[in-house]
Structure 1
Amino acid sequence: MTTARLRQLGAGPGWRCLDVGAGTGTVASWLLREAGVAEVVAVDRHTTFLPGEPVDGLTTLQADVTSDRFGPDLFAPGLFDLVHARFVLMHLPSPAELVEKLAGLLAPGGVLVLSDAVDLTTDAAGDTPYTRAMRAMWQGLRETIGTDISWVPRYPELMLAAGLESVAAEIHVPPLVPGGPLGRFWARTWDRARTAMTATGVVDDAAIDEAERLLDSPGYVGLSPGMLTAWGRRPARP
């Protein structure tokens, strides 16, 4: 979904790109190899998983987007044709300020693309082991590392407030099918987050085990959290 949207937004030859929270460099590599952009600056707090060997067009930078130094001290204003962040801002404080900061790095006509998690049904859905596990997961993430997905649906609004135009958004929710890859992903995620989840008091270990069994059951249907992607452009020069 990410690469298709970036291609539709015009990412291609000549573009200078900033990938914030680059992780393993998947998006940065795609931009260089498939989209053929001129340059990617891949930024992360920890660059361990980014390519260690030189890659043409790729610059890796260890930096914290929440730091006061992230901005004019590192980059000239208006430097990038694309600023991209996926599953980053949802874990950080002051998202409105971060959107404004990232928008300020765009060249005229440049595009800001933000993707983060949304959960459309957990709070409103019926009480099941699956929905309880999801509620406990989000609460545990919020209490331990500050994750807050309640801001994510407001990204288009924040982009408009930051002066961007042609703002739009889309949501992708992959299917949750018995024994499928998404179910296995959530089971692994819950296993890693068990301590934080059980600390909320919403679930115990037995409840998590029951929720994981439901993920393999043809008798259960549910809707997974998905990914919202929002984008907007800095106005071109008159």
Structure 2
Amino acid sequence: MNAVPGGGASEGGRYGEAFFRPEQAGEGERIDFGALAYDDITVARLRALGAGPGWRCLDVGAGTGTVSRRLLGEAGVESVLAVDRDVRFLGERPVPGLDLLEADITAPGFVSGRYDLVHARFVLMHLAEHESLITTLAELVSPGGVLVLSDAVDLTNDRTPRTPYTTAMAAMWQGLRASIGTDVSWVRSYPHLLRAAGLRPVAAEIHVPPLQPGSPISRFWADTWERSRPAMLATGLVDDAAVDAAIRYLVSDECAALSAGMLTAWGWKPE
């Protein structure tokens, strides 16, 4: 799961400031739990779209660099420019062909050039400027290249049985939206937004990793709730006891829930 290289202002600042600060102990490990849950699916999709020898790639919000490194090592792409607002986790494991850029993607002209693949995962959901940024990222794709965007989709609704998990997730989404602007309500619109940016054809898919005791995604959510606990409590939907109960629920055999899904959408730049 990638870190976020920029974001719009909100009541509590933005991702990486009010919550999920890169300097906070264990933040890199939290990101890596997400990577363990989603990287195989992401890399398989990128390779299926053709990422391979000769491709120049831009990985936006590269986090700890797991996708960037696998593009180089497994897909054999020519180069990857990994961008993040804080590259401390990327610099820990340098590899040939991987270049780093510390930048805020909401800044005009944050990067130059054109790329065969532009990829951003779990980035735009945290940014108020997501629609304009899709246009910006599409402009960075070379003719014949592809833009691939992944973000979370909340699979709970008012008919989902209430459990400690669903209560905590509702509080998390509401709390993060109020504090740092995270919003997943629009993510289902990705195919439409990619077409509006001039890309075609477009397609999309959803992957939902299983919530099992000790699984990477379960550990990711437990850690995420701990780090966003103040925002969750501020909603009034949960108290400390409810958050603790949700964390215990994740590691128990009582857990019967759907994780948030990862919607991945892609669109091609006409030649």
- Kindly state the Cα deviation for residue 123 of structure 1 after the two structures are TM-superposed: 4.6
Q: 1:59 to 1:198 in 2, by over 3 A?
A: same
Which stretch of structure 1 is more off in the superposition, 116-125 or 177-186?
Answer: 177-186
Which stretch of structure 1 is more off in the superposition, 84-93 or 180-189?
Answer: 180-189
Q: 1:48-59 counterparts in 2 under 5 A?
A: 48-51=88-91, 55-59=95-99
- Kindly state the Cα deviation for residue 53 of structure 1 after the two structures are TM-superposed: 7.3
Aligned partner of 2:69 in structure 1 is: 29
CA distance in structure 1 between the partners assigned to 2:214 and 2:94 by the alignment: 40
CA distance in structure 2 between the partners assigned to 1:216 and 1:32 by the alignment: 35
Q: 1:164 to 1:132 in 2, by over 3 A?
A: same
CA distance in structure 2 between the partners assigned to 1:133 and 1:85 by the alignment: 26
Q: Is 2:184 the counterpart of 1:144? A: no
* Secondary structure of the corresponding residue to residue 114 of structure 1: strand
Aligned partner of 1:162 in structure 2 is: 197
Aligned residues: 231
* Secondary structure of the corresponding residue to residue 109 of structure 1: strand
Output one character per residue of 1:106-136: Cα deviation in whole Å (capped at 9) or x when no partner.
1111000011111111454133322111000
CA distance in structure 2 between the partners assigned to 1:198 and 1:95 by the alignment: 27
Which stretch of structure 1 is more off in the superposition, 148-157 or 171-180?
Answer: 171-180
Output one character per residue of 1:121-156: Cα deviation in whole Å (capped at 9) or x when no partner.
145413332211100011111112111111211111
- Kindly state the Cα deviation for residue 65 of structure 1 after the two structures are TM-superposed: 0.9
Aligned partner of 2:43 in structure 1 is: 3
Equivalent in 242, 245, 249 of residue 210 of structure 1: 245
RMSD: 1.6
Q: 1:172-183 counterparts in 2 under 5 A?
A: 172-183=207-218
Aligned partner of 1:101 in structure 2 is: 136
Q: Which amino acid counterpart does residue 86 of structure 2 have in structure 1?
A: H
- Kindly state the Cα deviation for residue 206 of structure 1 after the two structures are TM-superposed: 0.9
Which stretch of structure 1 is more off in the superposition, 216-225 or 109-118?
Answer: 216-225
Structure 1: gaps of 5 or more residues: none
CA distance in structure 2 between the partners assigned to 1:32 and 1:180 by the alignment: 27
Q: Is 2:257 the counterpart of 1:234? A: no
Q: Is 2:265 the counterpart of 1:225? A: no
Q: 1:52 to 1:132 in 2, by over 3 A?
A: closer
TM-score (norm 1): 0.91
- Kindly state the Cα deviation for residue 213 of structure 1 after the two structures are TM-superposed: 2.5
Q: Is 2:222 the counterpart of 1:187? A: yes
Aligned partner of 2:14 in structure 1 is: none
CA distance in structure 2 between the partners assigned to 1:170 and 1:98 by the alignment: 21
Equivalent in 75, 87, 93 of residue 112 of structure 2: 75
Contact 1:122 1:134 in 2 (8 A): no
Contact 2:168 2:243 in 1 (8 A): yes
Q: Which amino acid counterpart does residue 269 of structure 2 have in structure 1?
A: R
Q: Which amino acid counterpart does residue 47 of structure 2 have in structure 1?
A: R
Aligned partner of 2:120 in structure 1 is: 85
CA distance in structure 1 between the partners assigned to 2:106 and 2:218 by the alignment: 33
Contact 2:69 2:95 in 1 (8 A): no
* Secondary structure of the corresponding residue to residue 201 of structure 2: strand
Q: 1:181 to 1:82 in 2, by over 3 A?
A: closer
Structure 2: gaps of 5 or more residues: 1-40
* Secondary structure of the corresponding residue to residue 224 of structure 1: coil
Q: Which amino acid counterpart does residue 63 of structure 2 have in structure 1?
A: G
Aligned partner of 2:234 in structure 1 is: 199
- Kindly state the Cα deviation for residue 52 of structure 1 after the two structures are TM-superposed: 5.5
Q: Which amino acid counterpart does residue 21 of structure 1 have in structure 2?
A: G
- Kindly state the Cα deviation for residue 57 of structure 1 after the two structures are TM-superposed: 1.8
Equivalent in 2, 6, 17 of residue 57 of structure 2: 17
- Kindly state the Cα deviation for residue 186 of structure 1 after the two structures are TM-superposed: 1.8
Percentage of pairs with the same residue: 65
CA distance in structure 2 between the partners assigned to 1:179 and 1:11 by the alignment: 32
Q: 1:56 to 1:22 in 2, by over 3 A?
A: same
Contact 1:12 1:36 in 2 (8 A): yes
Q: 1:156 to 1:198 in 2, by over 3 A?
A: same
